[in-house]
Amino acid sequence: MLKLSCNGVDRVQLTAQCGFMGRPTSFFSGRISVMGFRSTKACPVYAVATAKDGAVVNRVEPENGSLEDRLRLGSLTEDGFSYKEKFIVRSYEVGINKTATVETIANLLQEVGCNHAQSVGFSTDGFATTPTMRKLHLIWVTARMHIEVYKYPAWSDVVEIETWCQAEGRAGTRRDFIIKDYTTNQVIGRATSKWLMMNQDTRRLQKISDELRDEYLVFCPRELRLAIPEPDSNCLKKIPKLVDPAQSSSLGLVPRRADLDMNQHVNNVTYIGWVLESVPQEIIDTHELQSITLDYRRECQRNDIVDSLTSAETTEDVPELKGTNGSAKVNDDKQEHQQFLHLLRLSTDGLEINRGRTEWRKKAPR
């Protein structure tokens, strides 16, 4: 993967002003060189809105662009239906394995999704809300998240994430992601998520009207495009409720102020950390997370107290598993692969907050 020093980062940021970036290229010849990106477009189109027949009905193009737009290493693809952004893994984003944590990956997915919404002209004062959503006091909430990581990036590696969204039934929206090693163009991860609308005042879910749907679907692919092939993927597999008593638990988890997002509820990435808190330490020591699926069932507020429960998923409960990137996911070799069910619940009354499933692979020898 591409490695960048601090000086290299500064030069990369300076080259971001044109929006579209090429493969890495050297600024200097000779023995010492600094890696950057060759621009392939002088003036990017921020968004192209099209009708169902493919006719262009609206083009959103930058004028001079804000400072953050010029420094951000991302832009819409040329057809305007997806967004790509490059990220440098920072030192504070890596964990005990000396690679980016799954929480880092999830935060980057959230960041690129919000930046995609901004690039097509949606709000900067909330999580990707459209003008009609703001008028009706509506916000996006996560219903389901599935992340697969085939190779974790290390400190100072550069990854490129592509994202796009599509309709998901009458009540939801689907957002997919593909994560690549920017240097090799190798796919190192994929993710898919389902989002629902909630009224910010009543905290009740809201059906998506045709007016709301038409507002953002003009920026979505005309044909179904899936980051994770279906129906053979695990992202749609039902997660059974974990049966008490759990084999492992972490009780009395309390949201910190820093866990609250701008919508005044616990951010969806925080739940990932809570789920992993109850994973047995011997699994953390010998395995790395291969995939995680979370079903969000109840909003968590600042004063809630949460219990995290984990149990190994029995063979009878495990569906036939197939790897998206061609890798086999088998359960006959328990030393190599482990799978767990998870439950987050309120400590006070036991109400379910989140169901989860994780898959783990044996760490490679060092």
Catalytic residues: 263, 265, 300
Selection from 305, 295, 302, 303 nearest residue 350 by Cα: 305
Pairing of strands 352-362, 337-346: antiparallel
Note the residue count of the chain: 366
Q: What are the C-alpha distances in Å from 138 to residues 135, 141, 142, 232?
A: 8, 10, 13, 34
User: Which one-letter amino acid corresponds to residue 45?
Assistant: V
Q: How far apart are CA 188 and CA 192, in angstroms?
A: 14
Contact 219, 301 (CB under 8 A): no
Q: How far apart are CA 140 and CA 5, in angstroms?
A: 37
Contact 94, 100 (CB under 8 A): yes
Contact 86, 71 (CB under 8 A): no
Number of Cβ atoms within 10 Å of the Cβ of 273? 15
Could you tell me the maximum CA-CA distance found in the chain, to the nearest angstrom?
A: 67
